[in-house]
Amino acid sequence: MEVKLENLSKHFGKVKAVNNFSFHINDGEFVALLGPSGCGKTTTLLMIAGIYKPTTGNIYFGNNVVNEVPPKDRNIGMVFQSYALYPHMTVLDNNGRCWSSGKRKRYLASTYPGY
């Protein structure tokens, strides 16, 4: 399923964590967001997962806007930042924790700060 972000913003008071961000991920595509610490990568992932509600803009899964869909109904797994990773395991093994019994999930990883 394709994922599309359309003019997505998340503001915390005066802090513009994400500001008017748009992109399109095709079905089956593997995507990494790279950028300096504080540029809004984790905030973007949290909006895709449904944990943060966008201040403005839309998130589409296929043709459907999912802004109001709760996290539990999005079929998204998320691996959180460093403190929730298993340091003795590989990136793949850490991410593998998001795969449930035979059912493929879309999943997101937010890795070490600054990376």
Ligand X SMILES: Nc1ncnc2c1ncn2[C@@H]1O[C@H](COP(=O)(O)OP(=O)(O)OP(=O)(O)O)[C@@H](O)[C@H]1O
Binding of residue 42 to Mg ion (CB under 5 A): yes
Q: How far is it, in rounded angstroms, from Cα 72 to Cα 38?
A: 27
59 and 84 Cβ atoms separated by less than 8 Å:
no
Binding of residue 43 to Mg ion (CB under 5 A): no
| CB of 101 vs ligand X, minimal distance in Å | 30
34, 82, 85 from 96: Cα distances, Å: 21, 16, 11
Binding of residue 37 to ligand X (CB under 6 A): yes
Name which of 67, 75, 69, 73 is nearest 1 in CA terms.
Answer: 75
Here's the x/- map for ligand X, 87-106, by CB under 6 A: it reads as: --------------------
**What DSSP character marks residue 43?**
H
Is the CB of 13 or the CB of 70 nearer to ligand X? 13
Name the residues that contact Mg ion, by CB under 5 A: 41-42
Name the residues that contact ligand X, by CB under 6 A: 12, 15, 17, 35, 37-43, 113-114
